[in-house]
Structure 1
């Protein structure tokens, strides 16, 4: 029997009502409409106090270690970050600095970002794709970028963005289906043997 897909989303937003978290949740919900999955959202704003002062993974408390392990064991990742000075937030990068460099090999990753205007929309291709290329992850072909005006009460309401989100998930389905059939991180286990 095929296990539910483990979908983990990481929101780089620092606020509790974060647009990045809302975008992550929306994308996870769309995946959940297509495939049976277990969903988990990591909100970096919630772990920031324990994360920000650490230099080594061994310095992190168990609660942050659990979030890192969830990311490393995910079948699929959804990541979204607010754009800060033309890139992802420093806390977002700091979190991924603790991820084992081989843990995300071949993991499908749906990239997303939020920003104040359309002028930052290339952050997905110019910042996020290279970051996850380092991990040898499979960044999915279509990213989702949302501006402040695409949200109403921290919920997506722009029909063009809703359609792009649906299309991003539809185009990702072949890889997500494959991730369900293959033992998670089988390539990592083979490499370690």
Structure 2
């Protein structure tokens, strides 16, 4: 995978093009934390992405909440942001798989560092990014996680067809942290 595609996938984080539904409740079968919509993510492209390679700055912001945790009931929300520059990026750079690290700052001031691999796929006008891995430090260290973002946008398809540009994506997030 190209460096550009890896960067896009790393900045994106984000299962199917169906409504997101949590698969359980906190505390059930090792599920320790669940954050569900209206948890959200935004991904902004400057300048807007096209199907022609160009340099751009990417900014991703994620808001988690409501969150419910069996072992840390004081954690009810969190946030994560990242900005980076890339060269030769196109709309198709959104697709692929790569390694990813996400640092979440919780409403308590504590942090969790999630390290794993993500896979981005396009189905019609919906980009889905699923990241799985391990919490490597901070709160929930040693647990595994599934982080899913679904970005619906007709501009994704139009951009890939060369019929428009893509200035940003807005989607819903589901985060599940599973303790061993």
What is the TM-score when the length of structure 1 is the normalising length?
A: 0.27
What is the TM-score when the length of structure 2 is the normalising length?
A: 0.28
Task: With a CA cutoff of 8 Å and minimum separation of 6, indicate the structure with the bigger relative contact order.
Answer: 2
Name the structure where helix makes up a greater proportion of residues: 1
